[in-house]
Amino acid sequence: MITLIDTFNGRSLSRHRTLENAVLAQRKHSAQVIKNNGPGSYVTYCFEADGEPVGWDEIEAVKMEIEGRR
pLDDT of residue 42: 93
Question: SS3 sequence, 50-63?
Answer: CCEECCHHHHHHHH
Structure confidence by residue, pLDDT tens digits, 19-67: 999 999 999 999 999 999 999 999 999 999 999 999 999 999 999 999 9
Q: pLDDT-derived band of residue 69, with 50, 70 and 90 as boundaries? A: confident
State how beta strands 11-16 and 45-49 pair. unpaired
The one-character DSSP state at 11 is E
**Domain boundary assignment for the chain:** 2-69
pLDDT of residue 5: 97
Helix axes 56-69, 19-37, angle to 10 degrees: 80
| Amino acid, res. 4 | L
